[in-house]
Structures are given as structure tokens and as C-alpha cells.
Amino acid sequence: MLVNSLSTIRSLLVIAGTTSGVGKTTVSLAIMHAFNKKGLVVQPFKIGPDFIDPSYHKIITGKESRTLDAWFMGRDGIVSTVENAIKDVDIGVIEGVMGLFDGMSGRNDFASTAHVAKILNAPIILVVDAAKAARSIAAMIFGYLNFDKKLKIIGIILNNVSGPKHEKYLIEACRNSIHVPILGIVKRDKDLKMDERHLGLIPPDELEPSQRNKIVRLTNKVSEEIYYDKILSLIKTRKSKLAKRISDKSKVPKLVKIAVALDNSFNFYYTENLNILRNLGAEISFFSPIDDTNIPEGISGIVLGGGFPEVMADKLNSNQSMLKSIKKSGEQGIPIYGECGGLMYLTKSIAGYKNSKKVFHMVGLVDATTKMTGRLTLNYTNADMNSTFGNMKNIRGHEFHYSKIENLSSDSKFAYSLKRGIGIDGGTHDGILTYNSIASYMHLHFYDSRFPKMWIRKCIEFQRK
């Protein structure tokens, strides 16, 4: 049924890159911005595991960006996510991941931008960084156009073009050998580069007003250098039916209240994950481990997502009241679920950010310490769970961090046996268990609802005690 319905998904556009760092995010934001200015309702999407880029999508479109990942969600999950999100919009703009064909291995394009584009039968605009070449760029584009003839690459956008002479050479080279149109020529401007740090772009909530203004200027500038009328002539769009939309007033009964950490230290959440928790009966109360003195009252579970606790370690350490509140709750058996940054926060301390020797004390619920390494751990993960939390096979996730867990207690217990990934202890285990809490480097997408269903049951059981 889902395969047959693919033909109805017409108003989609994939923004892909030849490699990472060619300007996909900048171009994607500019296209979203320009479509909005033309009166189109835009739904953003992001291919691959990413928490930060989607938050920039929301700044431009006002809509929560949706994740599309073949490893987490499979073909049916990708199609159903797109179908549900695009019902009442004019166009969906999908930002790709890494290079167009970069996926889980060199053998095929599984989990790549190309893979998702083929699943959705969606047209692709290829973003090319032209900074260090002229005629050679045409040879590169020719290779991308012919590497997989199943793809629908409808045009290219040339980024980092230095000036009129460079632009002329590029146009001449493409005119003689490339049979798709140039859909934009973006001039080089070093002053409008987005600010980054070790995990990518800085989350929007942390940006100073001057930094936000820079993003607006960048988006406006780039949007003026892309040929939107030509793009719209190459894709199919449909008129939004927002005015005729009938809202579904049915409500999921609230079975349990949970607290979700949300501030500059913890903000890596998939929109779908929070919505799935709500659909399972959770009433979510957000709180700040930096600014609030205690966890919210009346809760029966705590979620500590990923984020940047190492950056905010001094502020987290200063909030002793919150640290004690979370530790006491964990020792009393309240279910706590921590992912990556949440794991780090639950250990005894965090040290080593920017090579600093200063140690910042954290919650201490997990009998271990965290050290920043400067070395990236980046993997898709696969694990089996066999613990008091349940028995589940092939739980898929991903890990992305620059830290390691040290001084683990010799009697530590783990929820996950890893079949793929590094985890907490170097490739064998992840998901350290303490009291009624689980904390892991692995990030989960709740499209596979087995874990969230189990965790909500644990919260309900705690509530009934």
C-alpha cells in the first residue's frame, strides 16, 4: 500500500551535495525561505541522524523538521513520515546528508541521500562547491549525473563562485557537457559563514542576536542568487489545503507525567520521539537543568537527551540543587532515560573540554566519569537488549560524540549488547543500568516503538507504587 502511494508524493525537492561541507544547509535554508516568500507552505525534512540542522529549518519555515533515515525507519517509515507531514503543505524540502551517495558503506548507497531520494522518487538539486576549480567542475558534475541513472537530478547550484570571470568559465564548461540546468550561482562571501563547533552548527537557542542576524542575512543573500522560477517549472507542486483542514480533536488519554530536560545543555531530540511519547500517554513537562532548582513536581519519569553538557558544565555544576534533585529521584527508583549528553550528565563529573584540566561535578548517579577526548565517535549502532527493562533484538540507533566514559565500576550492568558501534566500553556494551535508570551513548529514533512503550510502562509502574 505504501509503495503504491508513492506516486501521490509529488511536491518534494531534495537538496544534495557532492560532499559534506559544500553548503547544503545554507542552500536548503535559502530555498525554504524563498518558497515561503512566494506564498508556498514548506515542510522541511533532514536525511540522516541530525538534531541541529532541523532546528535551523524551523527558524525559516516555522515548522518542525522531520527526520528521514533508512537505518532507523526503513522504507515504510520514510514513506509514511513524508506522507503524513506533507498532506497540508505545498512542497517538502529535504536536506540531504554528507555527499549524495555516501551511506553506511562503500558497497552500496544504503542510508544515503540517493537512497532516500529513490525511495521517494523525488527530484534532486545538486549543490557543488566551485571554489577551487573551473572546467573541472563540469567533469565532476558529469560523473554525479551518470553514476546512478535511477536518480532524478534536475539541476545544479554552484556555490562559492569567486567572481564574474570564474562564473563565465563555469557556465561555459557546463554548457558544453552538462545537460541539466544551472539553478543558482552563489557568490563567495566569507563574512556570512555560519558559526560552528565540534558537533556542527551551534544550536539556535544559544545564538546571540548578532549571530541570528547573520543567519538571516546569509539566507536572504543566497536566496537572491537562486533561480526559483526555473526550479518551480521543473517540479510539481500542489495547492495547500490548509484552509479546508479539519482538525482531529481526539485526544490521547494522559497516563503519566514525565519531565524532559530542554535548555542550552540538553536539546537533541527528534520531534517524532516527543510526539510518540505523547501518543503513548505521556504528558511532557519541560525543565532546565541549568536554571531550575528542582525537577517538576508530580512526575514519574525523566528524559535527559543529548546536547552540550561539556560546554555548559560550569553552569550545570553550579546548580547543586538540581544535581541533588535528580540524583535523589534516581535513587528512589524513578525511571530516568539518558542519551549521550544525558549519560555524561549522570556520571560523577565531566572534564577535558578544550583541554581544560578543570573537573566539573555532575549528578553522580552513574558510577563513572566523563572525559572529553577531541576524537569523534560516529557510527550507526545495532544492539540486543536483555535486561530488567525487557528483551529486544536489533535495536537500531546512532552514536555521535567527542567523549569517553572512564573509571567504570567493575560491577557495572548494561542493557545493550552491541553488534555494531562503540558504546560505553569500546564495542561490547552500552546502556549502563543503575537503579531504575538507563543511560547510553546510543541515540534512538522511536519509529521503532518497542523501547518507548517499555519505558512508559516503567514510568506508569513507578507512578502506581
Task: Give the Cα separation of 339 and 268 in Å (integer).
Answer: 9
With a CB cutoff of 8 Å and minimum separation 6, the contacts of 198 are: 376, 402
Task: Give the Cα separation of 8 and 297 in Å (integer).
Answer: 46
Task: Give the Cα separation of 24 and 35 in Å (integer).
Answer: 16
CB 18 within 8 A of CB 144: yes
> Is 340 tagged catalytic?
yes
Task: Give the Cα separation of 50 and 71 in Å (integer).
Answer: 13
Burial status of residue 3 (CB atoms within 10 A of its CB: 0-12, 13-18, 19 or more): exposed
With a CB cutoff of 8 Å and minimum separation 6, the contacts of 443 are: 49, 268, 306, 339, 340, 397, 398, 399, 400
Task: Give the Cα separation of 73 and 43 in Å (integer).
Answer: 19
List of long-range contacts for 207-213, beta carbons under 8 Å, 24+ apart: 212/59
Task: Give the Cα separation of 355 and 378 in Å (integer).
Answer: 21
Three-state DSSP state, 304: strand
Query: Which of 100, 340, 366, 418 is labelled catalytic?
Result: 340
What is the maximum alpha-carbon separation in the chain?
74
Place of cell 529513490: 118
Three-state DSSP state, 87: coil
Cα angle for residues 337, 338, 342 (degrees, 5° grid): 150
Catalytic amino acids? 340
